[in-house]
A and B are shown apart, each in its own frame.
Chain A
Amino acid sequence: MLEIKDLYKGYDKNPVIKNISITVDRGEIHGLIGENSAGKTTLIKCAAGIYMADKGEILFDGEPVFDNPTVKEKIGYVADYNEYIRFYNIKNMVKMYEVFYPHFNIEKFNDFNEIFKLPVDRRIYALSKGQKMRLAFMLETCKEPDYLIMDEPTSGLDPVAKTKFFELLINEVEQRDLGVLISSHNLDGLERICDSVTMLKSGEVERQMSMEDMKEELTKLNVVFEGGAGKAVYDMPEILRISNVGSIYTLVVKGFDDELIKRLKKSGASLVEPVDISLEELFVVLEESRGDYHE
């Protein structure tokens, strides 16, 4: 189990992340979401053992990660920008990994490259952003770690590579019980793979729950108001977003229940129908509505 306990980290005297706790079991995928500069990369770098925590603990199967090669052997880390020895070609890099990591699985690397098709004779400096990202994912996964920590790994990937990336990742999770901590702005992707999710806001945990519960935080409704929705509807505090095409209104609401249906019907709704809301839409509405809505 990966345990992050009451973690604090700042630069100079400015705290960047505060009081963060996350646990990720093996075989589980945990997503990290939040606006730019919410602290995702700082958190990931602490979890990967690159930054020393100011306060708190990061344990993998009970062992601290910082300055601990035995633990680091069991974890893979795909950074937002992956730097390798510039004048090495990919083949040389792979050889180096084979020397450093006793469990490095070269067959798996070659299998992955049947799919990702990296030019193995090309030097690192001549690789594109997407190629470097693919290389980082392949090298770190073929170490066969118990845990994989990834910072925005789908950025720079084309749609085909993205799909392949997710397929390969869930194979590792299912077959090897790989535990994954992944940050991404690609919320459609995260929604499809994550078991649980942490939402960061200004360096603190704002929400932390299973992806299923997260999806139930808000409800999207199709509502028909023949003759239009009145002011009473626009004033309902639980309606966070409202738009319409003719008499068909789309509402995003908090705390959907029978009582709300009753009130909507009283205000002239002839049909109230809940429909699926995407994580992306949910995230955007939550961000926009912060402060406007009080529980």
Chain B
Amino acid sequence: MVQLDYKSSRPIYEQIIEQMKYNVMKKYLNPGDSIPSVRKLALELKITPGTVAKAYQELERQGVIETIRGKGTFIASEIKVKQDDDKIDLAKKQIRSSVMELKLMGYDKKKIVELVKEMYEEIS
């Protein structure tokens, strides 16, 4: 369900957040599906429970998962990821710098738009 890249410079908890969201977008995980507890996922991924807890707290805050006390952790029955201005700003900056790189390497507008479309399809 989650594959970590231990050699990556991306923090482990961010990798967990991203992969959980990816699983949801690809519908590998659906609303109401049970996901492993913090301790079980930590044991499986060979990482500290605190790191998994941090990722789960963020996913819960964003409305992707929900914890029902005594029952476990689930994909939220209604996933509504709140629009977060800071996150949107960050994404814009990242896209802008990537577009610039591609343009420098000779990609035209059509090719860049094509690439974005492909990526969108891939995760939908």
Which residues in A have some Cβ–Cβ distance to B below 8 Å? 29, 166-167, 170, 173-174, 188, 191-195, 210-212, 215, 222, 273-276
Contacts and interface: CB of A to CB of B under 8 A. Distances in A.
Interface string B104-118: 000000000000000
Contacts of A275: 6-9
Contacts of A215: 48
A238 B6 CA distance: 23
A222 B8 CA distance: 10
Given A273-B9, A275-B6, A212 B54 contact: yes
A173 B51 CA distance: 18
Contacts of B8: 275
A191 B48 CA distance: 5
Contacts of A273: 9
Contacts of A193: 39, 42-43, 49
A211 B12 CA distance: 14
Interface of B: 6-9, 12, 37, 39-40, 42-43, 46-51, 54
Nearest to A175: B70
A126 to B, nearest CB: 32
A170 B50 CA distance: 14
Q: Is the interface of A mostly helix, strand, loop or mixed?
A: helix
22 contacts: A29-B49, A167-B43, A170-B37, A173-B39, A174-B37, A174-B39, A188-B46, A191-B47, A192-B46, A192-B47, A193-B43, A194-B49, A195-B49, A211-B48, A211-B49, A211-B50, A215-B48, A222-B7, A275-B6, A275-B8, A275-B9, A276-B7
A170 B40 contact: yes
B48 A274 contact: no
A45 B47 CA distance: 29
Contact of A274 (B9, B47, B51): B9
B50 A192 contact: no
Contacts of A212: 48, 50-51, 54
A192 B9 contact: no
Contacts of A211: 48-50
A241 to B, nearest CB: 18
A213 to B, nearest CB: 8
